[in-house]
């Protein structure tokens, strides 16, 4: 397709920027509808003759499938080539976006969106790996800053225009628009992206993949259902009880696999394991604090839904603005420093939230939203870069998947636990306790970030990685 244009783009000295634009275009097309579903549950439920509680699975289902699928899809990119996985996932994401507009009942909508998330998730580790292949190690964090900007900014954009469109045109046209945007981004990616290396004669570690998928899905499901069903419910106890056995099975499978899904030696590298630990705890506090803040404003401060929406947008807007800035600064002072500073910002944000709840100060709550966006915005790109730089080219896909899975589970855990604590409470003290718990988790992430390594030490550790993969033909 367009051979002359393809050759010109691939030969350009600015080719990494072309790849970045292609990946960001795809990310925007697949993510801008996320927030629209959240705020339109009642409208969608009425249109489909269902209830908001049932339709809420259009959000929960994709979250669960994402946690389950990330490691496998990331490894498939390492084995088959990330361009191939990216384009196939993107094509199906466009098809499912189109199918969403034709959903005929709640069950079909939930199934379509869950399958759409499964295929769309394939583009996440693939896009990160594609970027890591064309950017030098010290420049990857800058690219991750732009990725974080779009991943946070696209849902905000969707929220800004989505409400008006849903009120005037209904919810279905939004997904027709998404299908068109996905189609355009797919064509652009087909022209720009070139294939990465792939491993010949290496098979997917199915036992390891099954074990880690079981652990991730059971943990995510159990924690997600905890607020609704309670800690004593068999649907919560059962999945959570499976998690340690599934993790033990994963370790057992990896030790015996000829080509493991994730080489266990990676976990002994500080810049592989500790950034994920830090990211998990930071996400717990960051997302949990963000979700209960509107509840505080509505139930304790008595703000209207409109005022609450505008105030809570301070966090994603700040995150979007600060992510590329944080990525650019990290290229100069190092990713480790930015992770430490960013995690410290998340801790400070939780303190501001807690004091805002205790003293019923809107200024402290608004300040907490801004500081949270600032802190997480500057550390998220560096977390991705640290983990990616800790492994060799052959494992970029599984490395980015591991970061994504840890962050997703942290976010689900924070949302579920802090929501369960505050629920329908109108007591400032209850919200104070919720923010304090989030602050304790954020502090653990802050401590973990101190033990990550600088660039030189991390490169020495990564130098013992496997030799480069066999290049694609």
Query: Could you list the pLDDT tens digit for every one of the 473 residues in the chain?
Result: 566 677 778 778 889 999 999 998 888 888 777 766 666 666 788 888 887 667 777 777 777 777 777 788 888 888 888 899 899 988 988 899 899 989 888 889 889 988 888 888 888 888 888 999 899 888 899 999 888 888 777 766 766 666 667 777 778 888 888 889 888 989 999 999 988 876 666 778 889 888 988 888 888 888 877 777 877 888 889 999 999 999 999 999 999 888 888 888 899 999 999 999 999 999 999 988 888 888 888 888 988 867 877 788 788 889 888 899 988 999 888 899 999 999 999 999 999 999 999 999 999 999 999 999 999 999 989 999 999 999 888 888 888 888 888 888 888 888 888 888 887 778 899 999 999 999 999 999 999 999 998 765 555 555 555 544 433 33
* CB-based contact 135:143 (threshold 8 Å): yes
Could you count the other beta carbons within 10 Å of the beta carbon of residue 221?
22
138 in Cβ contact with 456 (< 8 Å): no
What the block records as the tokens of 345 is 């910002």
SS3 2: coil
Which of 179, 127, 157 has the alpha carbon at shortest distance from 22? 127
CA 412 to chain centre: 11
Instruction: Using a cut of 0.85, tell me whether the model's pTM lies above it.
Output: no
Query: How far apart (Å, rounded) are the C-alpha atoms in residues 91 and 120?
Result: 9
Whole-angstrom Cα distance, residue 394 to residue 398? Answer: 9
Closest CA to 275 of 407, 141, 415, 143: 407
Alpha-carbon Rg for the chain in angstroms: 21
Long-range contacts of 76-79 (CB under 8 A, 24+ apart): 76/122, 76/204, 76/397, 77/122, 77/125, 77/126, 77/129, 77/196, 77/396, 77/397, 78/129, 78/198, 78/199, 78/394, 78/395, 78/396, 78/397, 78/398, 78/469, 79/198, 79/199, 79/202, 79/203, 79/204
Per the CB < 8 A criterion, the answer to whether 227 and 424 are in contact is no
Most distant CA pair in the chain: distance in Å? 66
CA atoms of 389 and 442, how far apart (whole Å): 24
């Amino acid at each position: 397709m367009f051979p002359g244009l393809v050759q010109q783009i691939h030969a350009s000295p600015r080719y990494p920027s072309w790849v970045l634009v292609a990946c960001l275009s795809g990310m925007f097309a697949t993510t801008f509808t996320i927030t629209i579903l959240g705020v339109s549950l009642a409208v969608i439920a009425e249109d489909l003759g269902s209830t908001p509680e049932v339709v809420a699975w259009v959000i929960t289902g994709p979250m669960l499938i994402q946690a389950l699928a990330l490691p496998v899809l990331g490894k498939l990119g390492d084995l088959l080539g990330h361009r191939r996985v990216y384009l196939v996932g993107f094509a199906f994401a466009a098809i499912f976006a189109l199918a969403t507009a034709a959903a005929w009942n709640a069950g079909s909508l939930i199934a379509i969106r869950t399958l759409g998330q499964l295929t769309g998730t394939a583009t996440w580790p693939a896009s990160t790996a594609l970027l890591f292949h064309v950017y030098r190690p010290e420049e990857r964090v800058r690219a991750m800053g732009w990725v974080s900007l779009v991943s946070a900014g696209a849902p905000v954009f969707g929220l800004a225009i989505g409400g008006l469109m849903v009120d005037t045109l209904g919810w279905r046209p939004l997904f027709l628009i998404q299908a068109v945007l996905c189609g355009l981004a797919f064509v652009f990616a087909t022209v720009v992206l070139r294939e990465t290396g792939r491993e010949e004669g290496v098979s997917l570690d199915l036992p390891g993949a099954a074990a880690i998928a079981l652990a991730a899905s059971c943990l995510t499901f159990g924690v997600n259902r905890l607020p609704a069903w309670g800690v004593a419910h068999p649907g919560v106890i059962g999945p959570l009880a499976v998690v340690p056995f599934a993790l033990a099975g994963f370790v057992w499978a990896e030790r015996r696999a000829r080509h493991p899904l994730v080489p266990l030696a990676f976990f002994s590298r500080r810049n592989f394991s500790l950034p994920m630990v830090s990211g998990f705890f930071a996400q717990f506090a960051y997302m949990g604090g963000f979700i209960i803040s509107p509840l505080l404003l509505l139930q304790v401060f008595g703000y209207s839904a409109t005022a609450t929406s505008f105030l809570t947008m301070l966090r994603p807007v700040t995150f979007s603005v600060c992510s590329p800035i944080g990525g650019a600064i990290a290229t100069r002072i190092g990713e480790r420093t930015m992770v430490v500073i960013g995690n410290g910002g998340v801790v400070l944000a939780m303190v501001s939230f807690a004091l805002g709840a205790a003293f019923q100060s809107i200024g402290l709550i608004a300040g907490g939203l801004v500081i949270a966006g600032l802190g997480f915005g500057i550390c998220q790109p560096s977390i991705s870069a640290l983990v990616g730089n800790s492994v060799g080219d052959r494992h970029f896909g599984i490395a980015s998947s591991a970061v994504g899975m840890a962050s997703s589970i942290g976010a689900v855990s924070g949302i579920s636990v802090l929501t369960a604590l505050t629920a329908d409470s109108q007591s400032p003290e209850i919200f104070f306790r919720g923010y304090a718990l989030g602050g304790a988790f954020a502090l653990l992430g802050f401590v973990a970030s101190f033990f990550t390594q600088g660039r030189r030490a991390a490169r020495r550790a990564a130098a013992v990685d496997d030799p480069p993969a066999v290049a694609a033909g």
